[in-house]
Amino acid sequence: MAQGETVKHKVQKHKKLMLVRYGRMGHLGWFEHKESYIPKTQTRVVIKTNRGLELGELVGRFNYRSGHFKSTPEQVQQYFGKTQKDYPLAEGGTFVRFATAEDVMEEKHLEASAKEEMQCCQRFVSEMKLPMKIIDAEHVFGGERIVIYFTSSSRVDFRELVKRLAREYQTRIELRQIGARDEARIISDYESCGLPCCCRQFLKILEPVNMRMAKLQKATLDPSKISGHCGRLKCCLRYEDATYKDLKRKLPRKNATVRTSRGVGKVVDMQILTQLVVVQDEAGEKKAFSVDEIEIIDEQNRPTEPTAKDCDEKQGDKTSRSSDKD
């Protein structure tokens, strides 16, 4: 028994795997192959998943050596962090072949068909008066099934809808309910910064974001300006949150008593990024000083280490948008 297990381990060790992104939701998966050379250009591949034949895109094309992916599955999993609901690595499958020009042309035909199938589904939904909104349709490359994505504020009994669609297209129909953030991933384009939406371009795991981050960065609190296409707070508010918190710890608190080159005064305002402190002296005159040019007299107002309340607030950050992860 032990000998058999050793042999199995050796087979697993020398198995060649490639990392492929596939599907409308941009899943990542490991696919077994026997190729000795992996192109170092943008490459489309035909793969076999549990949904059937699909057309995907090779990920990390510069990370191969003699057909072996340099990073192990464990290292890739560590890169993405702990497994959670929107974890991007899905169940993989097997590699079939590198995509040909005919495969790419067939994909375009299927995309055109998917638009018609989505319109047909929307027509059926209107006729049956179902409380759902059709977002997109995906015709799997091998033709084994059609996946239709929809949103709804409640549970929907779509069994009759599936039957009508199956009779119409004579193939397997899969309806998948998604949330607002996944809807943004599918249909959104550009954000107010002028760049493609992060969730569509590169962001795979959507971390919690709350209003405290917007207040700390002194961003406008107008919901229309700090909300993304999904209607939630923009994910980019989280990118610099750690830097802002670190810089804020170096500043005195508001109303703290400090000593400057012009005498003793009170802190009335501060600028986190420039590390400037506005001090009002006894005569009521205000002047900005660098944080290195002041001395805090009132030690009780100096920023302290995180308290239990701060820890609770941090824990609240992690769950504040749990409802966003549908």
200-218: pLDDT as tens digits: 887 877 778 888 898 888 7
The helices-and-strands tally (H runs, E runs) of the chain is: 10, 15
Q: Which of 145, 121, 156, 154 is nearest to 135 (CA)?
A: 121
Question: Hey, what CATH topology would domain 103-178 get?
Answer: GMP Synthetase; Chain A, domain 3 (3.30.300)
The percent of residues in the chain predicted with pLDDT above 90, rounded, is 31
Q: So what's the pLDDT on residue 303?
A: 44
- The whole-angstrom separation of Cα 55 and Cα 46 is 5
Between 301 and 228, whose confidence is greater? 228
In sequence order, what are the residues at sequence separation of 6 or more whose Cβ sits closer than 8 angstroms to the Cβ of residue 143?
52, 53, 110, 171
Q: The pTM is what?
A: 0.69
Residue 236's closest CA among 274, 193, 273? 193
- 196: which DSSP letter? B
Class of domain 251-301: mainly beta
3-state secondary structure at position 290: strand
Q: Where are the domains of the chain?
A: 2-99, 103-178, 184-244+308-320, 251-301
Name the most confidently modeled range: 74-83, 85-94, 188-197: 188-197
Residues 6+ apart with CB under 8 A from 31: 17, 18, 19, 20, 45, 47, 92, 93, 94, 95
Q: What is the mean pLDDT of the chain?
A: 82
